[in-house]
A and B are shown apart, each in its own frame.
Chain A
């Protein structure tokens, strides 16, 4: 049957949809809730704990009961409030939290057991036997709990983010918000007005009176260029300094959204001024079985009639304690319903032709899947009357949520009969209209609990009853916060909108304490639940973070390189050649090529910082632990940088290109932190030094050209005499390539071979890489990636990220003597702390004919595998193609004592226990002769 009695304010354009597989028809402009109600579908869901049958209670976003799943697969959206889901052609919805069907739900047995399942019962049982919690009890509880289901398939939709600025943000498009927007607009302010509903107008739309004045306001606002009206847009949070988050639902109401249309947009709105005109929502009264499908708020009953043209029942009862009930009675009566009016007050203006009980209350209801009757108590007598819909007018809760987002505490107002905002509003915010209690003040008293047995639902979704509240109180959970946590009152998906105030009222009634002393209700963002996808925006999949490509990326791709992610960089790990089937073959070949001929590696990712100024040397002398004042022009020096706490921060090189010009390199990982630190040292510690810093990491492509034939190769392309005499070890120069390309050349080595780093402006990087390999083809020039780079540096015993783990000192690295004791430098003083300076932990090398796993711990032979027996750990390991064995570096205590000894490298995780010999970490050319040839 149809319960549609008029087109309401939405018209009569038919729209087809389905619910739990059954086809229905509604009208364009319906919500799923109104369309189902029009089709006489009162049963829409099951409650969380007792699986009681539930229908809708409200008209809007505060709906606790009518939660459904929309769609399926990659667009399956659980827990959608039917009251806010706009109807579209083909919409497919299903009920949730029931098995096997909505009408017959096996877990409704919980309702029968409800006397055992009171608040907090689970804290008192399920403790024995101990192992049963994870294996028996908890799985049962978890399966029974939860509401809707995610599909476990990647969300098919896109989300966007946007930024907006205005002078005045108006939150809520009811009459108060529209008027506030107009006033601000007339003052010349840039105004944004947001409203969560598809149509502006607020509660006026749901009343029977004409809405000409609202429409007039909307028209005028639409005509103003300094006003932006945003419907379907919910302001979700009020953050510090006038930053608001708002969510626009772009496509959730469309049958076939454009493929590229973002489903939702998260706005960050900057506004120094905000007007909260969010209105109010009605609240329930606690009477026994106040949760049956068909029991709803009086304003909802009225709104479904006036706006959607749906009369929810043939016989409608209205139970109220203030004047608003009368409005519903009048409208229902006018629509032709049989109306019963129950009012707790002793006198009020009657409505002709309506049966009215004064000084009366509804105390109980009946009807399993749909309300069938109500029990009324009047003058000490109780009697049942049949009805199939009941609207409850328990008073109004101003929507003060956003006033709490910066710690504001709502205060109780007897006038309003609800909590209104306190004085501690977010700066720049004011509250108007019903949100401020306007229109709500009157001479009446709220009615909280009129139940006989306490089986009255205060939080309908979480099934928290009056009985639970009383029990919690009896057990000493007296503060409102305890009550919430012990009973889960207010923790449902309506975020306490329905439950909090009523719960406080019930507690106040039963303790005899004034509401003010019972507590208040606080709210945190978001105002309504927000899709996680919307908060993430476009940052997902490959776009989760930016991808930084090296200058020679195109070349490496063409070579078929395998890439590795290093921070946000993508670097070539190795360059497999035809016939190579295992990565080790490629890496061994590349590493051997460097030792025996020449290799080229893109090292652009190393941080580069240009340091210029008269005091540049003095500045670096402060930043680095070792000295820089005497570094000659044209020379490069290894630099060790400490944190102020004396721990090694980073290492790199500083090249003095001219008297007042240095180029500093950092490790890849620390490029940003080192630059930040250097700016800190300059601006905060040494602002008087004449020095300027700029990061040039992205500006220069830089290549390591390493190996005994590197000089021969480079001499073919740089316009500079680079013989050992003219351009010795650690030399640097600004120069040009033979083709005129500006370049910088540094004779530095990470591999331990004769080596250079050559830098050119980044845009020439890719072609330089190609040129080097073409020009050096006869010399055996080979591109090498980060894997071979790692092998080479381990062979040479150079520390890298794994060694510089934020806990190691210069002493640990064997570089203690580098920390100059004759000058000030960052970290120098605290590096001398007792336990740091006297640590015996040292970087050493390990050799084995079996693979050594990084992250193994070193234990002497014959000792058991426990922490107290460990000497240290393996920080980096590889196979050395040059030595023909497995090698590693790592740290051990009392290193001097163990040099030459046999230890075990143990990884209990991998059940690997490998014998290793402890050696110097400098496996290759410990004297450094190859560097200087």
Chain B
């Protein structure tokens, strides 16, 4: 696979480390009333669609950017790539 890095252009996916569903950007408040449930869901229940999936990739053998990649899990087609730090969580 190739990932179109917003700063570096097309890079082989082999340079990246995969983390998973981009819902990991939405970390709950530690001091909310239902923090335990919210964190359990945050850590363990992730979106796992057959189709478009927003997911986190880390350019470990590159510029060390965390990217949010929108990729189709049925075809592996990538339709969008953004810097995670610029995505509104």
Where the two chains meet, the residues of A that have a C-beta atom closer than 8 Å to any C-beta of B are: 239-243, 270, 406-407, 427, 644-645, 672, 676, 679-680, 682-685, 687, 824-825, 828-830, 832-833
Contact = CB atoms under 8 A, between A and B. Distances in A.
Contact of A679 (B28, B31, B58, B86): B58
B17 A830 contact: no
Interface in B30-77: 30-31, 35-36, 39-40, 42-44, 56, 58, 60, 64-66, 75-77
Contact-residue bracket for chain B: 20 to 34
Contacts of A832: 36
25 contacts: A240-B1, A240-B76, A241-B76, A241-B78, A406-B75, A644-B42, A645-B44, A672-B60, A676-B17, A676-B60, A679-B58, A679-B64, A679-B66, A680-B19, A680-B58, A680-B66, A683-B83, A683-B85, A684-B85, A685-B27, A687-B84, A687-B86, A825-B30, A829-B30, A830-B39
Given A240-B2, A241-B76, A679-B66, 12 more contacts: A243-B1, A406-B76, A676-B17, A682-B85, A683-B85, A684-B66, A685-B27, A687-B84, A828-B30, A829-B36, A830-B39, A830-B40
Given A241-B2, A241-B76, A683 B39 contact: no
Contacts of A406: 75-76
Contact of A241 (B1, B17, B35): B1
Interface of B: 1-2, 12, 17, 19, 24-25, 27-28, 30-31, 35-36, 39-40, 42-44, 56, 58, 60, 64-66, 75-78, 83-86, 89
B19 A644 contact: no
A683 B58 CA distance: 10
Lowest 4 CB-CB distances: which A-B pairs, in order?
A687-B85, A824-B30, A241-B2, A683-B66
Contacts of B12: 243
Contacts of B89: 684-685
Nearest to A831: B39
B65 A270 contact: no
Nearest to A239: B1
Contacts of A687: 84-86
Pick from B1, B39, B77 the residue with the most CB of A within 10 Å.
B39
Contact of A644 (B31, B39, B58, B78): B39
A580 to B, nearest CB: 42
Chain B, interface SS category: mixed
A676 B58 contact: yes
A905 B53 CA distance: 50
Contacts of A243: 1-2, 12
Contacts of A240: 1-2, 76
B65 A683 contact: yes
Contact of B25 (A242, A685, A830): A685
A424 to B, nearest CB: 9
B66 A829 contact: no
A262 B17 CA distance: 31
A824 B31 contact: yes
Nearest to A644: B43
A830 to B, nearest CB: 5
A676 B84 CA distance: 14
A208 B75 CA distance: 45
Nearest to A643: B43
A687 B42 CA distance: 19
A209 B1 CA distance: 44
A496 B60 CA distance: 40
B65 A833 contact: no
Contact of B84 (A239, A672, A683, A833): A683
A789 to B, nearest CB: 28
A796 to B, nearest CB: 33
B43 A684 contact: no
Pick from B19, B40, B83, B85 the residue with the most CB of A within 10 Å.
B85
A357 to B, nearest CB: 51
Nearest to A427: B77
Contacts of A644: 39, 42-43
Contacts of B27: 685
A833 B36 contact: yes
Contacts of B84: 683-684, 687
B17 A829 contact: no
A572 to B, nearest CB: 28
A209 B77 CA distance: 45
Contacts of A672: 60
A824 B31 CA distance: 8
A172 to B, nearest CB: 24
A684 B24 contact: yes
B38 to A, nearest CB: 8
